[in-house]
Structure 1
Amino acid sequence: MINILLADDHPYLRRGLMQILRDEFPGAVIGEVANVPELLEQVQKLRWDIVVLDLTMPGRGGLEALHELKRLCPNLPILVLSMHPEDQFAVRVLRAGGAGYLTKESVPQEFVRAVRILWKGGKYITPKAAELLAAYVDRHGDTEQPLHDSLSDREYEVFRMIAAGQTITEISEQLALSIKTISTYRSRVLEKLHLSNNVDLARYAVEHHLLT
């Protein structure tokens, strides 16, 4: 019997995923949480075979949650679901210890297959993700790697939100961080990317295909 924990703040999506899993894995134990604190509590309280994690969880966010999950449970397979294309986050997720990256538009076609692969101890890596990983490895053997590769996961997240037109206040509320903290991240991003303002950030993101 398989134990699967669903972590997503959208109840309708959780119900849909739960129904798919119940149809494909009769007798499975399926849990659900809506935020990162509940997620971290559950993985420490019970034994789970797989965690299905939404990348855009409110508050601390999916990438930060992924890092914390791997610290608490290094061997726990984590399948990350995202609304973002693979070229924007797949490599970061896999580098952080995720066992698979699946875009939400691929559900339900690939979802069950991904879960089965993780349950057998494998990693769910699409041909596109494999190509991106190979390109990342090639870049890091090259002095001409993109500047945004130097951003931390949180810096990258804040960078994309600013580039998409969100204000510091909006980002602060969405990530549950202070305005001062978000401003600090913005300053670090500008420095690392050698840019001057938000318009430059938006232009850079568009030129490097980093926005959905």
Structure 2
Amino acid sequence: MKPRLTIFDEPLLYTEGLSRLLSQSKIFNGINICNSYETLFEQLKLDPPELLMISSNILMLTDIYKSVEEITSKNQNIKIIVIGNCYDVTDIRKLFNKGIKSYLDKNSRYDEFMKSIQALLLNEIYICDYAKERMINFISSEGQQRLHIKDPLTRREMEILKLICDGLSSKDISEKLFISINTVETHRKRILLKLNVKNSVGVVKYAIENHIID
């Protein structure tokens, strides 16, 4: 079943143009535009979409935090994409902790937006390349010591960790390694538990800090 997308952004000329462009992709069952806080929450209350895009054009960062927290507390199935204004790594981390599933910068191109949509449809998270680069630089500048875990990763878990960092979905990993999706998901859960992280963002951070990936 095709998902529905709600765009919470301004100005109207831009949002209408984006809506028409996205409609041509034939990925969505419907695209709605909201230009006010009241209209958005009325729609979320009556007929919540599967995907929601929130832009920094329409809300300050602190208001995005509050909105994401409020939306996810009432609609856990909504996958939120935030279009940020080149936010700091700490701000991006906080957005993911609040519940967003995808982060793009304003300078992200259309094809990267579509990549993020595909990732969300596969129940994966997505961070734009520009933000990933800032994250790597931030971690490098911190000069943090390597993490030490009591229960080390197995060879298979390390293999899956690297594929997660490459952006592969569980389905892609299962096909590449010739194992079932359930087996991949079991390995994912063990990796998160061993590394004491909550999601794939934490996995990537661990891999970068420990020089597992460049």
Question: TM-score, structure 2 length as denominator?
Answer: 0.55
> Following TM superposition, by how much is the alpha carbon of 1:109 offset from its aligned partner in structure 2, in angstroms?
2.9
Q: Give the conservation status (yes or no) of the 8 Å contact 1:101–1:125.
A: yes
Matching residue of 1:82: 84
Task: Give CA deviations for 1:99-131 in whole Å, capped at 9, x if unaligned.
Answer: 011012113131111112112211112456457
Matching residue of 1:205: none
Matching residue of 1:122: 124
Matching residue of 2:26: 25
> Following TM superposition, by how much is the alpha carbon of 1:56 offset from its aligned partner in structure 2, in angstroms?
4.3
Identity %: 17
Matching residue of 1:99: 101
Does structure 1 residue 65 correspond to structure 2 residue 83?
A: no
Q: How does 1:132-211 map to 2 (within 5 A)?
A: 132=135
Change (3 A) 1:13 1:104: farther
Q: Give the conservation status (yes or no) of the 8 Å contact 1:70–1:76.
A: yes
Matched residue pairs, number?
140
Q: Give the conservation status (yes or no) of the 8 Å contact 1:4–1:29.
A: yes
2:104 & 2:136 partners in 1: Cα distance?
Answer: 15
Change (3 A) 1:93 1:134: farther
- 1 or 2 for the larger relative contact order (CA 8 Å, sep ≥6)? 1
Change (3 A) 1:127 1:79: same
Matching residue of 1:148: none
Change (3 A) 1:22 1:121: same
Matching residue of 1:15: 16
Q: Give the conservation status (yes or no) of the 8 Å contact 2:52–2:81.
A: yes
> Following TM superposition, by how much is the alpha carbon of 1:50 offset from its aligned partner in structure 2, in angstroms?
0.4
> Following TM superposition, by how much is the alpha carbon of 1:92 offset from its aligned partner in structure 2, in angstroms?
2.0
> Following TM superposition, by how much is the alpha carbon of 1:70 offset from its aligned partner in structure 2, in angstroms?
0.8
1:25 & 1:86 partners in 2: Cα distance?
Answer: 34
Q: Is the partner of 2:24 in helix, strand or coil?
A: helix
Q: Give the conservation status (yes or no) of the 8 Å contact 1:55–1:63.
A: no
2:91 & 2:107 partners in 1: Cα distance?
Answer: 15
2:104 & 2:67 partners in 1: Cα distance?
Answer: 17
Q: Give the one of 112, 115, 123 matched to 1:113.
A: 115
Unaligned runs of 5+ in 1: 143-212
Change (3 A) 1:124 1:86: farther
Q: Give the conservation status (yes or no) of the 8 Å contact 1:77–1:99.
A: yes
> Following TM superposition, by how much is the alpha carbon of 1:64 offset from its aligned partner in structure 2, in angstroms?
1.6
Q: Is the partner of 1:51 in helix, strand or coil?
A: strand
Question: TM-score, structure 1 length as denominator?
Answer: 0.56
> Following TM superposition, by how much is the alpha carbon of 1:55 offset from its aligned partner in structure 2, in angstroms?
2.9
Q: Give the conservation status (yes or no) of the 8 Å contact 2:86–2:131.
A: no
Does structure 1 residue 50 correspond to structure 2 residue 51?
A: yes
